Amino acid sequence: MPSYQFDCHTCGSFDRTFSMAEVPAATACPVCASACRRRFGGAPLIHPGSAAARLIDATQRTASEPGVVDAPAGRSPGRITRNPLHHKLPRP
Ligand SMILES: [Zn+2]
């Protein structure tokens, strides 16, 4: 069954589950029991669990949990060149 979102003027929004044939235009708030109108919104355009949704979640997660790296991407530390003459050069 789908869940629908309702707005209470004092408590905020909450979700209730109804069958599509029985969804009311207003319902009682579970906290203060006042009449709350249904909120109409757009349907989500990205399917949960899809590759696009995982990418968006990972991108949003890096804002609060940045990944820790110990080397630049694409290079292995200590083996920058394959020229054998470069192995004789002094190392920092
Ligand atoms: Zn309320």
Q: For residue 90, what are the CA distances in angstroms to 28, 41, 48, 71, 82?
A: 77, 65, 53, 20, 15
- Is residue 92 helix, strand or coil? coil
**Structural Rg of the chain based on CA atoms:** 27
**Mean pLDDT of the residues in the chain:** 85
Predicted pLDDT of residue 89: 85
Residue 82 — pLDDT band, cuts 50, 70, 90? confident
What kind and span of H or E run contains 8? Answer: strand 3-8
Query: Which residues have a beta carbon within 5 Å of ligand 1, which is an ion?
Result: 8, 10-11, 29, 31-32
Predicted pLDDT of residue 42: 75
Predicted pLDDT of residue 38: 94
Q: Rounded to the nearest whole angstrom, what is the distance from the C-alpha of residue 13 to the centroid of ligand 1?
A: 8
Q: Rounded to the nearest whole angstrom, what is the distance from the C-alpha of residue 17 to the centroid of ligand 1?
A: 17
Q: Rounded to the nearest whole angstrom, what is the distance from the C-alpha of residue 6 to the centroid of ligand 1?
A: 10
